[in-house]
Amino acid sequence: MVLFLFLTHLAIGIVFTLALVSREAGVKFFRFNAGLAATLIAVAFAFRRLDDISLLGRTALAALAIAEAAVVVYWATVGRRLASIRPALVAAAGAAGAVALVLQAIDVTTGWPLVVRMLAVASFLSSAGLLGGTCTAMILGHWYLVIPSMQVSHLQSIVKVHIASMLVRVVVVVAAIFVAIVTWQPGLGPNFERYIFSVAGIFFWQRVLFGLAPLLLAYLTWETAKIRSTQSATGILYVDFFTVVVAEVLAKYLLLATRVPV
């Protein structure tokens, strides 16, 4: 389930960013990202048990399947005829993906307090935004090796999106931790404050460490992009993406283990 959620969020996040990159990146860039998103969703389905799934869970899978179909058609039409329908396909894939995320969050938190379920929805959406923004920024930075003449402003723009998504993610995580600590009462599940200071809390602190590292790395990327050092920026983005991946995998595990959508 952890891998299913992670792969789904990464794929949908990439779909979200398809509309944010200039066409100057070229046909192959969009084809590569669309193909990557479609592959990730297909692999995610392989990790999802199809038995013993609630109606809400099946609806989320159906929405995810719609997003997959739209992305595949988008990939097939990039640089070919019917190019005019691509914006509509991106919109359809993004909308279906967002619906899938919301339904996933509600399904996973069935029976939990309302405030936790709302935070889970915010957590899933912000996680997808962060993963997609980081991955696309990394790939776009690498693309300057393919198209050296591409304006550096495109990399700066996607780095801005990455920084914004990172700040939103931090706010959501802090809110989830605050609510988990403040609203806990005996008999309502494990004490999260006690958990994070126990031996098992090492997973939480790893999530915090890897989750905050991208703030510094995103700033360094922004500074290197300003001086048009795209290769240095890309190298930093590789490390950035690695830290985000580790943090978000741990976040999925902590959600299922502690019922806190960090």
Q: Give mean pLDDT in consecutive 10-residue pieces for the chain, a chain of 262 residues.
A: 94 94 88 95 86 82 95 87 80 95 93 90 96 94 87 88 93 93 68 82 92 88 84 90 95 91 90
CA distance 47 to 81: 35
Provide the pLDDT for residue 47: 84
Domain ranges for the chain, please list them: 2-258
Instruction: Please tell me the predicted confidence (pLDDT) of residue 3.
Output: 94
Distance in angstroms (rounded) separating the CA atoms of residues 177 and 207: 12
The 8-class DSSP code of residue 149 comes to T
* Residue with token string 């996973």: 108
Stated pTM of the model? 0.93
pLDDT of residue 196: 86
Tally the residues of the chain. 262
Q: What is the reported pLDDT for 27? A: 87
Instruction: Quickly list H helices, the chain.
Output: 2-17, 27-46, 55-77, 86-108, 114-143, 153-182, 192-196, 202-226, 230-258
